[in-house]
C-alpha cells in the first residue's frame, strides 16, 4: 500500500516537472535568437541586488522591453527590431561577462561601467563588429586586453579603465581601429612600451588616457602627430623614461598633457601645447628641469680650445696669432654694441617725460594725442580721431606678437561695449585681421607706477588657452589702458539669460565650457612659487566664449590693478555708474562694477561675501565656479538666489536618491538629452562638492577639472 502511494507521488512530481519544462522551453523557443543570447548573459550574473534584470523573463518574447536593452529597426521597415544597445551602468551586478554577447550582430553600444564584473574580458565579445562604444570601466576585469579588439573597425570609444588588466598595451590591435576618438586604459597594470603605432595610426583620436599603469620605455615621438587631439594626453603615473619629445609641442594648445610621476629627464620643451601646461603636469620626474618647474637646467660645458703642448702641434704660429686677433676683434665689437645700446637708452630716457620703461617688456612709441574714443561718454561707435593734448606715456607690449603701435591703437575705430564706475571697455578694430579689447582704468594712482608695472607684467606672463591674454598696457598720469585679446562670441551670462540670438546650449557645449573654465583656473592656481594666484571674481559674465564655444576666463588680476589706480570714475564720467556687465556682448574682458551687485553676490563664497577686505582665495574660486556649474546645469539664475537655495538643495538630493526625476532640475533645453542623465548626475556631484560651505571641504581646482574631464570625454552615456 505504501509503495503504491509512493509510486503515484513520484509520477505526479515527474508530470509536474515535465509540464514545467514544456512551458519553459516553449517560452524560450518563443524568444528570438538575440533574446536567448541575453538570457545567457543573465545566467552568468550571480548577484543582482538592484533587480535590474528582474524583467529579463523568458516568458516575455520581446527582449526590447527588458531593462537596459535598446533596439532599432533595420533597413527593412517590416523587419523585427534588433538589439543595438545594452546599458546597465551602476547596477552593482556581480558575475562575469558572457562571450555570447559577441554574437549580437547589430550591437553598437555596450555600457556596463561601475559594476562588479570580474574574470577576463572574453575575446568573443569582439565578434560584435558593429560596436561603436565599449564602456567596461570601473569593474574587476583581469587578464590582458584581447588582441581581438582589432576586429572592431567601427569602434569610436573604448574605456577599460579602473580594472585589473595586465599584460602589454595592445597597440598593434588598436591601430586597426582607425575610427577611435576616445581611449582610456588608465588605472590598470599594463606594462611594456607605448608603440609608435598609436600616434601614426589613430589620426582621429581626441583623447588618450594611459595613466596609472606600469608602462616603460620612452614616449614615442609619433604621439605629436595626433593632430585631432583636443582633450587629454595623460601618461602620468607610469615608469616612462628618457626626454619629453619636442614633437608633443605640435599638439593643439587646448590639449591637457600630463606626464607627471614618471622617470623622465632633460629640459621641458616650452612651445605649443607644452607651454600651456602647469607645473603639475611635470611633477614627480626628478630628472626634468626648466620652466614651469623651479629646477634649473645646468648649462652644457663650453668647448675649451686646448692649445697646450699637445694641441699646438698642429697649429702654426700664424694660426695662433689669427685666433688671438679674432678674439680681440670680437671683444671690441661687443663693446661697441654695448656702448651704442647704452647711448640709445640714455637718449630715450631724456626724451620721455616720465621715464616709463620696462626691463622685461618692449615699448612702442610715445604719443601726444588722445583720440575721440577715449573721450566717449555715451556714443556706441566712434570713428574719428580728435586730438587733445595730454601727458606723454608709452604703450608697453607684453609679448613679441604685438605689431601695432600706440598711434594705430588710438586712431582705430572703436565700439563702446560697456561702462561703469571702474572704467570703460572698447572693442578696437585695428585691421580686418586684428581686433583687440581695451579697458580704460582711470586717471588715479599717478605715483604707483612700479606697483602697477609689477602687477600687469605678472598678469601678462599668464599664457593659457582658457585665459584671456593681456597683450599690452598703457600708462600715463591721466590715463591707464589694458589691451586684451578680443573674444568675439560674448559671455556665458548673456547666453544663459537669453540676451543673444544664439540657440540654447547643448549638453556637450555646457560640458566643454565647464571643463575649459576649470582647466584655466587650475592652471592659474598652480602658477608661481612664492606667490599663488587666485581670481576672486568668477561668474558667468567673466567666462567669455569664442565661436567654437571654447571658454576664456576674463578679468584675472583686475582687482589688484584697481586697488593701485583707485576705483574712482575716470575723468569725464561725471561719477555715474551705467551699463552693467551684461551689456558686454563680446570682448577680451568682461565688465565689473565697483560695487558687487546682489546677483554677483551669489557667486561669492560665504567666507568672502560676509566680510570686507578679504583677499581672493583658491577655495573661494572653487565655490564660485561651483555656482557657475549649477547655473550651467539648471539654466536658471533665480534658483540660485539665497531665498531658494534650500529648495535647490532639496531638488538635488532628491534626484541623487532617486526620489525625484532629474528632469525637474536640469535646464528645459536639455530635456531631449536625458539619455545623458548619468553624466548630468556626475556633473551635479562635482558642482555640489564645490559649493560646500566649509572651505577646507571643497576640492582643489585641479580635482574639479579632473572630475569634469572624466565626464566630458565620454562621448555618450546610455542610461
SS3 244: coil
Distance CA 219, CA 193 (A): 8
- Strand-pairing partners, residue 476, are 479
More confident residue, 372 or 361: 372
Lowest-confidence range among 5-19, 105-119, 160-174, 332-346? 332-346
Active-site entry in 537, 600, 621, 679: 537
- Average pLDDT of the residues in 389-414: 68
Q: What is the reported pLDDT for 239?
A: 95
Asked if pLDDT for residue 597 goes beyond 60, the answer is no
pLDDT in tens, 531-542: 568 888 898 988
Asked if pLDDT for residue 653 goes beyond 50, the answer is yes
Distance CA 640, CA 139 (A): 37
Q: Which of 154, 517, 201, 220 is nearest to 210 (CA)?
A: 220
Tell me if residue 537 is catalytic: yes
**Angle, nearest 10°, between helix axes 701-712 and 618-634?**
30
- Average pLDDT of the residues in 428-445: 77
Distance CA 514, CA 502 (A): 18
- Average pLDDT of the residues in 241-254: 88
pLDDT in tens, 513-562: 999 999 999 988 887 544 568 888 898 988 999 888 899 998 888 877 77
pTM above 0.85, yes or no: no
Give the chain's mean pLDDT. 75
pLDDT in tens, 87-97: 888 889 999 99
Distance CA 439, CA 418 (A): 10
Distance CA 486, CA 213 (A): 42
DSSP-assigned letters across all residues of 367-423: E----GGGT-SS-SEE----------EEEEESSTT----HHHHHHSEEEEEEEETTE
Asked if pLDDT for residue 580 goes beyond 70, the answer is no
Amino acid at each position: 500500500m505504501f509503495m503504491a502511494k509512493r509510486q503515484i507521488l513520484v509520477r505526479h512530481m515527474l508530470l509536474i516537472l515535465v509540464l514545467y519544462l514544456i512551458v519553459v522551453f516553449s517560452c524560450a523557443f518563443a524568444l528570438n535568437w538575440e533574446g536567448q543570447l541575453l538570457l545567457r548573459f543573465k545566467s552568468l550574473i550571480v548577484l543582482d541586488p538592484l533587480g535590474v534584470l528582474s524583467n529579463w523573463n523568458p516568458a516575455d518574447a520581446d527582449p526590447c522591453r527588458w531593462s537596459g536593452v535598446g533596439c532599432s529597426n533595420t533597413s527593412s521597415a517590416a523587419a523585427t527590431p534588433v538589439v543595438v544597445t545594452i546599458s546597465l551602468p551602476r547596477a552593482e551586478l556581480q558575475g562575469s561577462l558572457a562571450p555570447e554577447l559577441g554574437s549580437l550582430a547589430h550591437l553598437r553600444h555596450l555600457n556596463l561601467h561601475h559594476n562588479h564584473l570580474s574574470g577576463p574580458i572574453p575575446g568573443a565579445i569582439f565578434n560584435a563588429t558593429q560596436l561603436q562604444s565599449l564602456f567596461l570601466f570601473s569593474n574587476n576585469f583581469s587578464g590582458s586586453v584581447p588582441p581581438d579588439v582589432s576586429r572592431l573597425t567601427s569602434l569610436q570609444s573604448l574605456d577599460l579603465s579602473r580594472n585589473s588588466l595586465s599584460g602589454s598595451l595592445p597597440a598593434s590591435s588598436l591601430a586597426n581601429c582607425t575610427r577611435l576618438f576616445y581611449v582610456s586604459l588608465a588605472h590598470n597594470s599594463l606594462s611594456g612600451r607605448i608603440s609608435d603605432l598609436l600616434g601614426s595610426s589613430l589620426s582621429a583620436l581626441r583623447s588618450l588616457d594611459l595613466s596609472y599603469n606600469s608602462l616603460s620605455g620612452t614616449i614615442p615621438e609619433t604621439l605629436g602627430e595626433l593632430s585631432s587631439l583636443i582633450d587629454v594626453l595623460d601618461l602620468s603615473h607610469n615608469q616612462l623614461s628618457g626626454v619629453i619629445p619636442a614633437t608633443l609641442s605640435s599638439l593643439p594648445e587646448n590639449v591637457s598633457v600630463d606626464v607627471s610621476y614618471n622617470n623622465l629627464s632633460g629640459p621641458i620643451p616650452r612651445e605649443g601645447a607644452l607651454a600651456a601646461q602647469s607645473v603639475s603636469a611635470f611633477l614627480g620626474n626628478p630628472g626634468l628641469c626648466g620652466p614651469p618647474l623651479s629646477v634649473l637646467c645646468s648649462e652644457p660645458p663650453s668647448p675649451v680650445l686646448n692649445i697646450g703642448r699637445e694641441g699646438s702641434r698642429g697649429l702654426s704660429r700664424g694660426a695662433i696669432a689669427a685666433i688671438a686677433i679674432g678674439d680681440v676683434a670680437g671683444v671690441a665689437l661687443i663693446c661697441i654694441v654695448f656702448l651704442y645700446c647704452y647711448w640709445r637708452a640714455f637718449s630715450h630716457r631724456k626724451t620721455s617725460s616720465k621715464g616709463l620703461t620696462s626691463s622685461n617688456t618692449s615699448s612702442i612709441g610715445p604719443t601726444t594725442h588722445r583720440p575721440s574714443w577715449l573721450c566717449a561718454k555715451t556714443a556706441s561707435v566712434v570713428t574719428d580721431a580728435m586730438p587733445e593734448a595730454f601727458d606723454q606715456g608709452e604703450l608697453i607690449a607684453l609679448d613679441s606678437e604685438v605689431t601695432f603701435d600706440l598711434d594705430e591703437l588710438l586712431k582705430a575705430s572703436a565700439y563702446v561695449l560697456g561702462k561703469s564706475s571702474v572704467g570703460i571697455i572698447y572693442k578696437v578694430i585695428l585691421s580686418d585681421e586684428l581686433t583687440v579689447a581695451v579697458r580704460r582704468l582711470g586717471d588715479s594712482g599717478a605715483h604707483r607706477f612700479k606697483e602697477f608695472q609689477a602687477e600687469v607684467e605678472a598678469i601678462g606672463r599668464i599664457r593659457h588657452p582658457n585665459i584671456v591674454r593681456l597683450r599690452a598696457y598703457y600708462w600715463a598720469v591721466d590715463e591707464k589702458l589694458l589691451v586684451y585679446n578680443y573674444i568675439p562670441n560674448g559671455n556665458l551670462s548673456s547666453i544663459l539669460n537669453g540676451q543673444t540670438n544664439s540657440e540654447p546650449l547643448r549638453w556637450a557645449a555646457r560640458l566643454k565650457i565647464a571643463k575649459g573654465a576649470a582647466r584655466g583656473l587650475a592652471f592659474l592656481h598652480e602658477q608661481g612659487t612664492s606667490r599663488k594666484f587666485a581670481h576672486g571674481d568668477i561668474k558667468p559674465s567673466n567666462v567669455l566664449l569664442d565661436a567654437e564655444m571654447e571658454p576664456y576666463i576674463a578679468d584675472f588680476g583686475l582687482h589688484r590693478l584697481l586697488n593701485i589706480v583707485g576705483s574712482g570714475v575716470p575723468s569725464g564720467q561725471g561719477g555715474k555708474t551705467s551699463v552693467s556687465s551684461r551689456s558686454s556682448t563680446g570682448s577680451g574682458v568682461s565688465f565689473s562694477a565697483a560695487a558687487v551687485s546682489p546677483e554677483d553676490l551669489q557667486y561669492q563664497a560665504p567666507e568672502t561675501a560676509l566680510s570686507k577686505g578679504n583677499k581672493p582665495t583658491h577655495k573661494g574660486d572653487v565655490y564660485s565656479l561651483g555656482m557657475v556649474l549649477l547655473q550651467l546645469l539648471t539654466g536658471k539664475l533665480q534658483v540660485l538666489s539665497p531665498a531658494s537655495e534650500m529648495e535647490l538643495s532639496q531638488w538635488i538630493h532628491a534626484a541623487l536618491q532617486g526620489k525625484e526625476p532629474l528632469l525637474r532640475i536640469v535646464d528645459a533645453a536639455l530635456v531631449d538629452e536625458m539619455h545623458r542623465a548619468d553624466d548630468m548626475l556626475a556633473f551635479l556631484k562635482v558642482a555640489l562638492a564645490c559649493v560646500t560651505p566649509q572651505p577646507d571641504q571643497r576640492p582643489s581646482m585641479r580635482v574639479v577639472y579632473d572630475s569634469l574631464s572624466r565626464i566630458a570625454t565620454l562621448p555618450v552615456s546610455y542610461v
